[in-house]
Structure 1
């Protein structure tokens, strides 16, 4: 199948394959392997990632035999896939998350001005898209340095929508999007928390995504209760548990 045919097939189960659809639309396909109605697809972003679109254990085992572990990086894995994938090579690290999707019917506020929020009456906050020169600062405050890089952050700032909130030219909070289009890197520095910044960042990112007619979803660690409270308050709904892994060489 060519890329258009693959996206058409994946779109029949859009929520299940929302991450794979997004990364293909953003970066294209390096290679694909087929077994029945199932696929293994590789996409080159910060690494060569392998994405499964697999319906059953039998198909996954057949596809891995064809694939021959051409990369050690696997994305958007459901729980049942992990023991099959690591039969020959053990997992070096795993990032397990809950995928949340914002239904199309959900409406967010259209307040583009921070000055209209009473929480900001005493401080002059400014909001703008992130720039390449913000990369080092964002990376230095990331809790996911094991899973990302400065080059990846810089590329994502250039490639898709992002938002930064500044106080006296000091970056207080930010958000951007991942290679599959998922909202991510949502972060507010400790000294600027409890002011509603994260909510404003999310609202702006959602508006930007909506204006580009793109799917809106994100991934959050299961134990991050504060972030999940924010996301659910905006109307996001739980979809499924998924993992990113790197296998040992």
Structure 2
């Protein structure tokens, strides 16, 4: 079972567990598929060369680790229990940790009172310049996401003042409102529009939020997202 269709069919048996890796496989060129016991290991490229691992077994994860090469430095959606195994005897260059929250399909959502529209490629630099994660982003990645992902924004005088779009794994992200436009419901309007569009694409809406981001956490949970698990992105040297 080392081809795309078979791997996807297998992962979709536990769809909520594997939302990220499923979406990534369906959206990008994957150059390595492998099943190790009940675990799955893939490699693909979006803004970086990423390794994704779906596993519930420490023994199988150890076997996967033994298959890693010196080129396998960036890991996505790594669960807490995986970290000690993958980072043993390795220096972590950077790590981003978030809580994954999922919106179940039967949640009733409020109607937005704000007009929203799609982002355009002309918005890319502005979004990058106003991001809190410049060290992890590039303008090219933002352009790729605007082109191939799902986006939404609130505009005033032709300029975006609040926006969001889907990440490379399908998660709703990039949510940002310019400071002078906060407390107007714009972030909520953008999030509701993104949820609607994600559902229209027959996908499950989910987000990743840092625990320290109280406002985003409150917004997501107020709309019915439920905490699922901690996940991490990291690069090892």
In the superposition, the TM-score normalised over structure 1's length comes to 0.91
Q: Within 5 A, what are the aligned runs for 1:104-183?
A: 104-111=105-112, 114=114, 127-183=116-172
Offset of residue 32 of structure 1: 2.2
Partner of 2:98: 97
Q: Is the 8 A contact 1:101 1:237 kept in 2?
A: yes
SS at match of 1:70: coil
Asked if the contact 1:183/1:218 (under 8 Å) is kept, the reply is yes
Q: Unaligned 5+ residue runs, structure 2?
A: none
Equivalent in the alignment of 1:219: 208
> Is residue 29 of structure 1 aligned with residue 30 of structure 2?
yes
Calculate the aligned-residue CA RMSD, in Å.
Answer: 1.3
For structure 1, the residue ranges without an aligned partner over 5 or more in a row are 115-125
1:69 positional shift: 4.0
Report deviation, 1:127: 2.9
In the comparison of the two structures, how many residue pairs are matched? 236
SS at match of 1:127: coil
CA distance in 1, matches of 2:199, 2:93: 37
Q: Please give the secondary structure, in 1, of the residue aligned with 2:145.
A: helix
Q: Name the counterpart of 2:55.
A: 54
Q: Write out the 4+ residue segments of structure 1 that deviate beyond 3 Å after TM superposition.
A: none
Residues in 2 aligned to 1:163 and 1:25: alpha-carbon distance in whole angstroms: 22
Aligned to 1:46, the other structure's residue is in SS state: coil
Deviation at 1:199? 0.6
In structure 2, the partner of 1:120 is none
CA shift, 1:33, in A, is 2.9
For 1:83 and 1:158, locate their aligned partners in 2 and report how far apart those are by CA, in whole Å: 37
Quickly say closer, same or farther: Cα 1:244–1:70, change in 2 above 3 A. same
Q: Contact 2:102–2:206 (CA<8 Å) still a contact in 1? A: yes
**Counterpart in the other structure of 2:229:** 240
Query: Aligned equivalents of 2:196 and 2:119: distance in 1?
Result: 16
The match for 1:40 is 41
For residues 209 and 92 of structure 2, what CA distance do their matches in structure 1 show?
21
Q: Answer yes or no: is the 8 Å Cα contact 2:51–2:72 preserved in 1.
A: yes
Scaled by the length of structure 2, what TM-score is found? 0.95
Q: What does the per-residue CA deviation read over 1:83-129, in whole Å, with 9 as the maximum and x for residues that have no partner?
A: 11112421111000000000010122344x62xxxxxxxxxxx5321
Distance, in Å, in 2 between the alignment partners of 1:185 and 1:81 is 26
In 1, Cα distance between equivalents of 2:101 and 2:214:
13
| Cα distance in structure 2, aligned partners of 1:67 and 1:61 | 10
